[in-house]
Structure 1
Amino acid sequence: MYAIRAIVAAALLLPSAFAAAVPSVEYCQNPRVVSTEYIGRDKNVLVQHTACDTVAAPQVAHAIEARQSNNVCGTPFNTFCFTPSGGGPDPNDCHVITDALLYDSQNVGALFTLDPAQNTSVITMTYQSCESFMVNQDSVALTYCRTDWASILDNLAFNCQATQNAHGGLSVATNQEWFIQVQHS
């Protein structure tokens, strides 16, 4: 009888232990890929723009008008690694995405926009084992720098690995407007 109670108690605690270890961010309701392209010098990084019915938005007050774009290049953020270790992307695959971002920054333009009104709340980049995505959690368009994303991507890819007891991670703007995540594809 005590063994059954112990098994039931352990089973009830198990989901909460996994919930704490694996972030569950319900950031995009009813995701739909609205465009797909390949970027970089070798056109080997898959980019997908995703529309969401709604995005989990923080309670952020803005003085900016909805028709304006909010340039968030260089804004402060906090970085978190996903624990425990195992199953993370190869940081060298992630660096290919970094190179593609830097190449496009020089050859396409330094800035890009995530605009809910244009059905682009999420941009995902994938190369082999690495997937990185940026999510606009705000209701207005956000303009961001490709070089900033590249820097965050390399930092997460190389510093949130098994040697740090991690398997990817994310950087979140301190005001919760956006986040960039790195994980296994």
Structure 2
Amino acid sequence: MKSTDLPAAMFFPIGLWLGVASKTQEMLLASSQVIATRSARMASAGPLPSAADQREFALMGSEKLDAFSQSAAALGRAWTPAVQTLNAQALQGWLAIMNNAFALAGSRTPAQAMRRHKTLVSTVMRRAPTLQRASDAAARVTHSALAPVHRTATANARRLGSAKKTSRR
């Protein structure tokens, strides 16, 4: 790796999680638009909704089931034994790091603190790549599971938003 690649490599994990955060924000904004549009439609339909309203109201439940079923399937596909192993290794890494950090905190002499500090730094350096891979894998799994719900929410927001615009003309 060239030294010029270092900043990009350092921030890539953050980029993975920022992508998840961005998709989550888009999904939440789209969902709030869809909820507002459908709530207004339900209120205006009253006790005798039109056939189009009835279709839209029925769609609300079926699309949620479909999106969350797809999300569960994506999560199942993404959560392979390899990811489980990586997460187990990451947990072991965190436990080793925390164990060494607590040992350092309980040092009784400066010499003991220096030895324990060296052990802690060594453990962190040895375990960091596994922790990084686990974080990356978790971000990818989260993104895979979020994708179907995001896709449905944003598609509904576009569809219902364009339906509003055409009805105003």
TM-score range, shorter chain: under 0.3
Bigger helix share:
2
Q: Which has the larger radius of gyration?
A: 2
Larger RCO (CA under 8 A, 6+ residues apart): 2
Higher strand share: 1
